[in-house]
Amino acid sequence: MMHAVLLLAQLVVSPAGPYTSVAAAVQAAKPGDRIIVRAGSYPTQDVRVDRRVTISGEGWPVLDAGGEHQVLVIVADSVTVTGVVFRNVATSFVNDRAAVRVDGVAACDVHDNRFERTFFGVYLARTRGCRVTGNRFRGAYRSEATSGNAVHLWNTVGTVVERNEVTGHRDGIYLEFARHARVADNESHDNFRYGLHFMFSDSCAYERNLFTRNGAGVAVMYTNVVVMTGNRFLENEGPTAYGLLLKDINDSRVEGNVFRRNTVALHLEGSNRIKVLGNDFESNGWAVRLLGNSDGGRLERNRFVANSFDLSTNAASTTATLDANEWDEYRGYDLDRDGFGDVPFRPVRLFAILVQDNEPALILLRSLFIELLDVAERVLPVLSPQGLVDHRPVVRKASR
Protein backbone atom coordinates (compact mmCIF):
# COMPACT_ATOMS: atom_id res chain seq x y z
CA MET A 1 0.00 0.00 0.00
CA MET A 2 1.41 3.35 -1.02
CA HIS A 3 1.36 6.23 1.43
CA ALA A 4 1.38 9.81 0.23
CA VAL A 5 4.35 11.79 1.48
CA LEU A 6 3.63 15.38 2.37
CA LEU A 7 6.61 17.59 1.50
CA LEU A 8 6.61 20.81 3.49
CA ALA A 9 7.89 23.79 1.56
CA GLN A 10 10.48 26.35 2.54
CA LEU A 11 9.62 29.82 1.34
CA VAL A 12 12.50 32.28 1.28
CA VAL A 13 12.06 36.00 1.89
CA SER A 14 15.02 38.14 0.88
CA PRO A 15 15.62 41.52 -0.77
CA ALA A 16 16.28 39.64 -4.04
CA GLY A 17 13.31 37.27 -3.76
CA PRO A 18 11.77 34.90 -4.56
CA TYR A 19 9.57 36.62 -1.96
CA THR A 20 10.39 40.17 -0.99
CA SER A 21 7.90 40.48 1.87
CA VAL A 22 6.69 38.34 4.75
CA ALA A 23 3.09 39.08 3.74
CA ALA A 24 3.60 37.54 0.28
CA ALA A 25 5.25 34.45 1.77
CA VAL A 26 2.44 33.93 4.25
CA GLN A 27 -0.17 34.20 1.51
CA ALA A 28 1.68 31.57 -0.55
CA ALA A 29 2.35 29.17 2.35
CA LYS A 30 0.47 26.00 3.12
CA PRO A 31 -0.09 24.75 6.71
CA GLY A 32 3.15 23.41 8.09
CA ASP A 33 5.44 25.35 5.73
CA ARG A 34 8.57 27.16 6.89
CA ILE A 35 9.17 30.79 5.94
CA ILE A 36 12.85 31.74 6.08
CA VAL A 37 13.53 35.46 6.26
CA ARG A 38 17.06 36.40 5.21
CA ALA A 39 19.02 39.37 6.57
CA GLY A 40 17.68 42.76 5.56
CA SER A 41 15.05 45.31 6.54
CA TYR A 42 11.45 44.74 5.49
CA PRO A 43 8.51 47.12 5.94
CA THR A 44 5.95 44.81 7.55
CA GLN A 45 2.58 46.12 8.61
CA ASP A 46 -0.40 44.21 10.06
CA VAL A 47 0.46 40.89 8.41
CA ARG A 48 -2.28 38.38 9.25
CA VAL A 49 -0.79 34.94 9.91
CA ASP A 50 -3.82 32.70 9.44
CA ARG A 51 -2.17 29.33 8.86
CA ARG A 52 0.21 27.08 10.79
CA VAL A 53 3.68 28.20 9.69
CA THR A 54 7.13 28.77 11.14
CA ILE A 55 8.66 32.19 10.49
CA SER A 56 12.41 31.91 11.04
CA GLY A 57 14.97 34.67 10.64
CA GLU A 58 18.54 34.19 9.41
CA GLY A 59 21.04 36.94 10.22
CA TRP A 60 18.54 38.95 12.29
CA PRO A 61 16.24 40.38 9.62
CA VAL A 62 14.31 43.49 10.70
CA LEU A 63 10.52 43.64 10.38
CA ASP A 64 9.76 47.34 10.64
CA ALA A 65 6.21 48.50 11.40
CA GLY A 66 7.11 52.03 10.42
CA GLY A 67 4.96 53.64 13.10
CA GLU A 68 1.22 53.30 13.54
CA HIS A 69 0.88 49.63 12.73
CA GLN A 70 1.39 46.20 14.23
CA VAL A 71 3.83 43.77 12.60
CA LEU A 72 2.32 40.27 12.88
CA VAL A 73 -1.24 39.36 13.89
CA ILE A 74 -1.36 35.62 14.57
CA VAL A 75 -4.79 33.99 14.34
CA ALA A 76 -3.81 30.36 13.66
CA ASP A 77 -2.78 27.60 16.05
CA SER A 78 0.80 26.34 16.37
CA VAL A 79 2.59 29.28 14.72
CA THR A 80 6.29 29.72 15.57
CA VAL A 81 8.24 32.96 15.22
CA THR A 82 11.98 33.03 15.89
CA GLY A 83 15.18 34.88 15.03
CA VAL A 84 13.52 38.16 14.01
CA VAL A 85 14.02 41.81 15.00
CA PHE A 86 10.74 43.68 15.46
CA ARG A 87 11.04 47.43 15.33
CA ASN A 88 9.16 50.75 15.44
CA VAL A 89 5.64 50.14 16.69
CA ALA A 90 4.44 53.59 17.73
CA THR A 91 2.48 54.56 20.84
CA SER A 92 -1.30 54.58 20.62
CA PHE A 93 -3.66 56.04 23.22
CA VAL A 94 -6.60 54.15 21.66
CA ASN A 95 -5.30 50.65 20.86
CA ASP A 96 -2.84 48.30 22.55
CA ARG A 97 -0.71 48.14 19.43
CA ALA A 98 1.85 45.31 19.54
CA ALA A 99 4.71 43.99 17.43
CA VAL A 100 3.27 40.47 17.71
CA ARG A 101 -0.41 40.09 18.60
CA VAL A 102 -1.70 36.56 19.17
CA ASP A 103 -5.47 36.23 19.41
CA GLY A 104 -7.69 33.25 20.12
CA VAL A 105 -5.19 30.50 19.32
CA ALA A 106 -3.34 27.60 20.93
CA ALA A 107 0.31 26.47 21.06
CA CYS A 108 1.99 29.55 19.61
CA ASP A 109 5.76 29.83 20.15
CA VAL A 110 7.51 33.21 20.08
CA HIS A 111 11.13 32.59 20.96
CA ASP A 112 14.59 34.11 20.60
CA ASN A 113 13.55 37.36 18.93
CA ARG A 114 14.47 41.00 19.54
CA PHE A 115 11.96 43.76 20.10
CA GLU A 116 13.18 47.34 19.71
CA ARG A 117 11.11 50.49 20.15
CA THR A 118 7.79 48.65 20.22
CA PHE A 119 4.79 49.99 22.16
CA PHE A 120 3.70 46.50 23.26
CA GLY A 121 6.04 43.64 22.43
CA VAL A 122 4.06 40.37 22.52
CA TYR A 123 0.34 40.59 23.30
CA LEU A 124 -1.48 37.31 23.99
CA ALA A 125 -5.30 37.37 24.17
CA ARG A 126 -7.58 34.36 24.67
CA THR A 127 -4.74 31.90 24.08
CA ARG A 128 -3.96 28.40 25.37
CA GLY A 129 -0.59 26.78 25.83
CA CYS A 130 1.53 29.50 24.23
CA ARG A 131 5.23 30.13 24.92
CA VAL A 132 7.19 33.40 24.98
CA THR A 133 10.82 32.47 25.63
CA GLY A 134 14.35 33.75 25.14
CA ASN A 135 13.38 37.15 23.70
CA ARG A 136 14.97 40.54 24.33
CA PHE A 137 12.73 43.59 24.71
CA ARG A 138 14.12 47.14 24.57
CA GLY A 139 11.56 49.91 24.97
CA ALA A 140 12.66 53.43 24.14
CA TYR A 141 9.86 55.59 25.47
CA ARG A 142 10.46 58.35 27.94
CA SER A 143 7.39 58.16 30.18
CA GLU A 144 4.89 55.72 31.63
CA ALA A 145 2.03 57.25 29.62
CA THR A 146 3.75 56.65 26.27
CA SER A 147 4.96 53.11 26.92
CA GLY A 148 3.21 49.75 26.83
CA ASN A 149 4.06 46.35 28.28
CA ALA A 150 6.74 44.08 26.88
CA VAL A 151 4.84 40.81 27.43
CA HIS A 152 1.09 41.19 27.97
CA LEU A 153 -1.25 38.29 28.80
CA TRP A 154 -5.03 38.68 28.87
CA ASN A 155 -7.47 35.82 29.40
CA THR A 156 -4.90 33.08 28.80
CA VAL A 157 -4.39 29.53 30.06
CA GLY A 158 -1.12 27.64 30.44
CA THR A 159 1.28 30.30 29.16
CA VAL A 160 5.05 29.99 29.69
CA VAL A 161 7.09 33.21 29.85
CA GLU A 162 10.70 32.21 30.26
CA ARG A 163 14.28 33.50 29.82
CA ASN A 164 13.31 36.92 28.46
CA GLU A 165 15.15 40.17 29.15
CA VAL A 166 12.87 43.19 29.47
CA THR A 167 13.66 46.87 29.98
CA GLY A 168 12.28 50.32 29.17
CA HIS A 169 8.57 49.43 29.18
CA ARG A 170 5.63 50.43 31.38
CA ASP A 171 5.30 46.94 32.90
CA GLY A 172 7.84 44.33 31.95
CA ILE A 173 5.50 41.32 32.18
CA TYR A 174 1.77 41.80 32.73
CA LEU A 175 -0.85 39.12 33.49
CA GLU A 176 -4.58 39.77 33.69
CA PHE A 177 -7.11 36.93 33.92
CA ALA A 178 -4.30 34.49 33.19
CA ARG A 179 -4.51 31.01 34.72
CA HIS A 180 -1.79 28.40 35.18
CA ALA A 181 0.93 30.68 33.85
CA ARG A 182 4.59 30.02 34.57
CA VAL A 183 7.00 32.97 34.59
CA ALA A 184 10.59 31.79 35.07
CA ASP A 185 14.22 32.87 34.65
CA ASN A 186 13.40 36.31 33.24
CA GLU A 187 15.32 39.53 33.86
CA SER A 188 13.04 42.54 34.15
CA HIS A 189 14.82 45.80 34.96
CA ASP A 190 14.52 49.58 34.63
CA ASN A 191 10.87 49.58 33.63
CA PHE A 192 8.71 52.64 34.33
CA ARG A 193 6.23 50.90 36.64
CA TYR A 194 6.30 47.19 37.50
CA GLY A 195 8.82 44.56 36.53
CA LEU A 196 5.96 42.04 36.88
CA HIS A 197 2.27 42.81 37.38
CA PHE A 198 -0.42 40.24 38.24
CA MET A 199 -4.15 41.02 38.21
CA PHE A 200 -6.88 38.39 38.69
CA SER A 201 -4.50 35.60 37.68
CA ASP A 202 -5.01 32.49 39.81
CA SER A 203 -2.94 29.33 40.09
CA CYS A 204 0.24 30.81 38.63
CA ALA A 205 3.91 30.55 39.54
CA TYR A 206 6.92 32.75 39.05
CA GLU A 207 10.38 31.58 39.92
CA ARG A 208 14.08 32.44 39.59
CA ASN A 209 13.41 35.85 38.03
CA LEU A 210 15.46 39.00 38.57
CA PHE A 211 13.50 42.20 39.20
CA THR A 212 15.70 45.24 39.70
CA ARG A 213 15.46 49.04 39.53
CA ASN A 214 11.82 49.06 38.43
CA GLY A 215 9.79 52.16 39.24
CA ALA A 216 7.30 50.41 41.53
CA GLY A 217 8.77 46.90 41.82
CA VAL A 218 6.48 43.86 41.47
CA ALA A 219 2.75 43.70 42.25
CA VAL A 220 0.42 40.72 42.66
CA MET A 221 -3.21 41.79 43.16
CA TYR A 222 -6.70 40.26 43.45
CA THR A 223 -5.39 36.75 42.96
CA ASN A 224 -5.38 33.33 44.63
CA VAL A 225 -2.83 30.51 44.82
CA VAL A 226 0.37 32.08 43.52
CA VAL A 227 3.77 30.49 44.14
CA MET A 228 6.71 32.93 44.21
CA THR A 229 10.04 31.15 44.67
CA GLY A 230 13.72 31.79 44.09
CA ASN A 231 13.34 35.33 42.75
CA ARG A 232 15.60 38.33 43.38
CA PHE A 233 14.01 41.70 44.15
CA LEU A 234 16.85 44.23 44.07
CA GLU A 235 17.11 48.03 44.26
CA ASN A 236 13.46 48.87 43.67
CA GLU A 237 13.67 52.24 45.40
CA GLY A 238 11.38 55.27 45.60
CA PRO A 239 8.50 56.74 47.61
CA THR A 240 6.00 54.30 46.04
CA ALA A 241 8.35 51.41 45.29
CA TYR A 242 8.19 47.85 46.58
CA GLY A 243 10.25 44.77 46.04
CA LEU A 244 6.97 42.84 46.13
CA LEU A 245 3.49 44.22 46.76
CA LEU A 246 0.78 41.70 47.65
CA LYS A 247 -2.72 43.16 47.70
CA ASP A 248 -5.92 41.19 48.20
CA ILE A 249 -4.43 37.80 47.46
CA ASN A 250 -5.00 34.50 49.28
CA ASP A 251 -3.41 31.11 49.88
CA SER A 252 -0.06 31.91 48.29
CA ARG A 253 3.58 31.22 49.05
CA VAL A 254 6.67 33.46 49.01
CA GLU A 255 9.70 31.21 49.48
CA GLY A 256 13.45 31.30 48.98
CA ASN A 257 13.59 34.81 47.52
CA VAL A 258 16.20 37.53 48.01
CA PHE A 259 15.06 41.08 48.85
CA ARG A 260 17.90 43.58 48.86
CA ARG A 261 18.00 47.40 48.87
CA ASN A 262 14.29 47.99 48.31
CA THR A 263 12.39 50.85 49.93
CA VAL A 264 9.78 48.30 51.08
CA ALA A 265 10.83 44.71 50.43
CA LEU A 266 7.50 42.92 51.04
CA HIS A 267 4.17 44.68 51.54
CA LEU A 268 1.12 42.62 52.52
CA GLU A 269 -2.30 44.29 52.34
CA GLY A 270 -5.54 42.34 52.53
CA SER A 271 -3.46 39.21 51.98
CA ASN A 272 -4.67 36.11 53.76
CA ARG A 273 -2.97 32.83 54.60
CA ILE A 274 0.30 33.84 52.96
CA LYS A 275 3.36 31.74 53.76
CA VAL A 276 6.62 33.71 53.80
CA LEU A 277 9.32 31.07 54.13
CA GLY A 278 13.10 31.04 53.94
CA ASN A 279 13.63 34.44 52.33
CA ASP A 280 16.60 36.80 52.74
CA PHE A 281 15.77 40.43 53.64
CA GLU A 282 18.92 42.52 53.53
CA SER A 283 19.56 46.29 53.57
CA ASN A 284 15.97 47.31 52.88
CA GLY A 285 14.10 50.28 54.33
CA TRP A 286 11.13 48.19 55.52
CA ALA A 287 11.75 44.45 55.19
CA VAL A 288 8.14 43.36 55.79
CA ARG A 289 5.19 45.72 56.09
CA LEU A 290 2.19 43.71 57.30
CA LEU A 291 -1.11 45.57 57.42
CA GLY A 292 -3.79 44.64 59.93
CA ASN A 293 -6.29 43.57 57.26
CA SER A 294 -4.12 40.56 56.42
CA ASP A 295 -5.13 37.36 58.20
CA GLY A 296 -3.42 34.09 59.03
CA GLY A 297 0.02 34.74 57.55
CA ARG A 298 3.12 32.80 58.53
CA LEU A 299 6.71 34.12 58.54
CA GLU A 300 9.15 31.27 59.08
CA ARG A 301 12.89 30.64 58.57
CA ASN A 302 13.51 34.08 57.07
CA ARG A 303 16.76 36.01 57.53
CA PHE A 304 16.69 39.72 58.42
CA VAL A 305 19.96 41.65 58.12
CA ALA A 306 20.72 45.40 58.12
CA ASN A 307 17.16 46.59 57.44
CA SER A 308 15.99 49.91 58.86
CA PHE A 309 12.79 48.16 60.02
CA ASP A 310 12.49 44.37 59.98
CA LEU A 311 8.74 44.32 60.51
CA SER A 312 6.07 47.00 60.79
CA THR A 313 2.29 47.02 61.04
CA ASN A 314 -0.60 49.42 61.47
CA ALA A 315 -2.56 47.14 63.83
CA ALA A 316 -2.55 46.68 67.59
CA SER A 317 -2.89 42.91 67.13
CA THR A 318 -2.51 40.45 64.30
CA THR A 319 -3.06 36.77 63.58
CA ALA A 320 0.28 36.32 61.81
CA THR A 321 2.66 33.70 63.17
CA LEU A 322 6.42 34.22 63.46
CA ASP A 323 8.67 31.20 63.90
CA ALA A 324 12.36 30.35 63.64
CA ASN A 325 13.46 33.52 61.87
CA GLU A 326 16.96 34.97 62.08
CA TRP A 327 17.01 38.59 63.26
CA ASP A 328 20.26 40.52 63.38
CA GLU A 329 18.76 42.72 66.10
CA TYR A 330 18.17 39.78 68.44
CA ARG A 331 20.20 40.07 71.64
CA GLY A 332 19.05 36.93 73.46
CA TYR A 333 20.93 33.79 74.40
CA ASP A 334 20.82 30.04 73.78
CA LEU A 335 21.70 28.22 77.00
CA ASP A 336 20.43 24.82 75.85
CA ARG A 337 22.36 25.12 72.54
CA ASP A 338 19.46 24.05 70.35
CA GLY A 339 20.06 26.91 67.91
CA PHE A 340 17.05 28.91 69.05
CA GLY A 341 16.97 31.81 71.48
CA ASP A 342 15.64 31.17 74.96
CA VAL A 343 14.10 34.65 75.05
CA PRO A 344 11.32 35.55 72.54
CA PHE A 345 11.96 38.39 70.09
CA ARG A 346 9.58 41.22 69.23
CA PRO A 347 10.71 42.59 65.86
CA VAL A 348 8.29 45.54 65.63
CA ARG A 349 10.11 48.60 66.91
CA LEU A 350 8.21 51.30 68.73
CA PHE A 351 9.81 53.78 66.36
CA ALA A 352 8.31 51.88 63.41
CA ILE A 353 4.88 52.41 64.92
CA LEU A 354 5.55 56.12 65.29
CA VAL A 355 6.78 56.40 61.70
CA GLN A 356 3.65 54.60 60.48
CA ASP A 357 1.61 57.61 61.59
CA ASN A 358 4.21 60.30 61.05
CA GLU A 359 6.72 59.57 58.26
CA PRO A 360 8.75 62.79 58.71
CA ALA A 361 9.91 61.26 62.02
CA LEU A 362 12.31 59.16 59.90
CA ILE A 363 14.80 61.99 60.22
CA LEU A 364 15.43 60.75 63.77
CA LEU A 365 16.21 57.18 62.68
CA ARG A 366 19.89 57.14 63.70
CA SER A 367 19.60 59.46 66.68
CA LEU A 368 20.56 58.67 70.27
CA PHE A 369 16.96 59.30 71.33
CA ILE A 370 15.68 56.47 69.10
CA GLU A 371 18.38 54.11 70.35
CA LEU A 372 17.25 54.77 73.92
CA LEU A 373 13.64 54.28 72.86
CA ASP A 374 14.50 50.87 71.39
CA VAL A 375 16.27 49.82 74.58
CA ALA A 376 13.28 50.87 76.69
CA GLU A 377 10.87 48.99 74.43
CA ARG A 378 12.92 45.79 74.67
CA VAL A 379 12.89 45.99 78.44
CA LEU A 380 9.19 46.86 78.69
CA PRO A 381 7.36 46.02 75.43
CA VAL A 382 4.05 47.66 76.26
CA LEU A 383 3.24 49.11 72.83
CA SER A 384 4.39 46.33 70.49
CA PRO A 385 1.52 44.65 68.62
CA GLN A 386 0.19 41.54 70.30
CA GLY A 387 1.03 38.33 68.49
CA LEU A 388 4.03 39.54 66.51
CA VAL A 389 6.50 37.62 68.61
CA ASP A 390 9.04 35.07 67.43
CA HIS A 391 9.25 32.54 70.27
CA ARG A 392 12.05 30.60 68.56
CA PRO A 393 14.41 33.18 67.02
CA VAL A 394 17.45 31.64 65.39
CA VAL A 395 20.68 32.41 67.18
CA ARG A 396 23.53 33.11 64.81
CA LYS A 397 26.70 31.24 65.59
CA ALA A 398 29.65 33.47 66.36
CA SER A 399 32.30 33.43 63.64
CA ARG A 400 35.62 31.94 64.62
Task: Render pLDDT for 294-339 as a digit per residue (tens, 0 to 9).
Answer: 989 999 999 999 998 899 887 766 788 999 999 998 888 888 888 8
How far is the C-alpha of 38 from the C-alpha of 236, rounded, in Å? 41
Residue of 394, 301, 292, 298 lying closest to 345 (CA atoms): 394
Q: Is the pTM of this model over 0.85?
A: yes
What totals of helices (H) and strands (E) does the chain contain, helices first? 3, 39
How far is the C-alpha of 71 from the C-alpha of 276, rounded, in Å? 43
The domain at 37-379 falls in which architecture?
3 Solenoid (2.160)
The residue with greater pLDDT, 147 or 315, is 147
Q: How confident is the model at residue 68 (pLDDT cuts 50, 70, 90)?
A: confident
How far is the C-alpha of 372 from the C-alpha of 367, rounded, in Å? 9
The pLDDT of residue 134 is 98
How far is the C-alpha of 215 from the C-alpha of 149, rounded, in Å? 14
3-state class (DSSP) for residue 36: strand
The pLDDT of residue 399 is 43
How far is the C-alpha of 106 from the C-alpha of 81, rounded, in Å? 14
How far is the C-alpha of 381 from the C-alpha of 154, rounded, in Å? 49
Q: How confident is the model at residue 257 (pLDDT cuts 50, 70, 90)?
A: very high
Burial class (CB in 10 A: 0-12, 13-18, 19+), 109: middle
Those residues whose C-beta lies under 8 Å from the C-beta of residue 143, and which sit 6 or more positions away, are: 192
Q: How confident is the model at residue 3 (pLDDT cuts 50, 70, 90)?
A: very low
